[in-house]
Amino acid sequence: MKVEKRLNVAYGSNLNLGQMVMRCKAAKVYGKGMLKGYRLLFKGQMENAYCTIEKKRGGKVPVVVWELEPEDEKALDFYEGYPRFYEKEDVKVTLEDGTVITAMVYIMTDKILDRIHLNLPSRSYLETVKEGYKAAGFDETFIEEALAISEKAIKKYPPKFL
């Protein structure tokens, strides 16, 4: 019986090649592309927010597509806290050569209260994501826009402390 490989869309810390090598021993880069109709966001608790995406007309997010073996997907499920923190969806990605493929992506759930708020990431997490963007040759403007969205939300709705 042949084991089915799966394509996975990475837009946050899973862009970081070093981290993916540690997590997913057999994963291979399938290609780079653009996820259209979405935008990048940081959600979570203050200084502990993580990347996610949400649908946005006209939006786009640069992505790396990984080819995963079943054991890699299990490792990513664990890392992403699936199904509690992140859910899986199939999305269409336009690769650099114009080919459109369908691949699985993790999107942060809105079922856990401390995961639904726009917020800022820790410095180390942000650096991990930036390293992945640099390695992939992506424009960091996407990260800067996501940070600006979080900063605007924090100013409008400051965190309440008990």
Q: Which residues are annotated as a binding site for substrate?
A: 125
CB-based burial label for 4 (10 Å; 0-12, 13-18, 19+): exposed
Strands in 69-110 per DSSP E: 86-95, 100-108
Cα–Cα distance measured from residue 141 to residue 135, given in angstroms and rounded to the nearest whole number: 15
Q: Which residues sit in the known binding site?
A: 125
Residue of 47, 80, 96, 144 marked active site: 80
CB atoms within 10 A of CB 88: 16
Q: Is 54 a catalytic residue?
A: no
Q: Which residues are catalytic?
A: 80
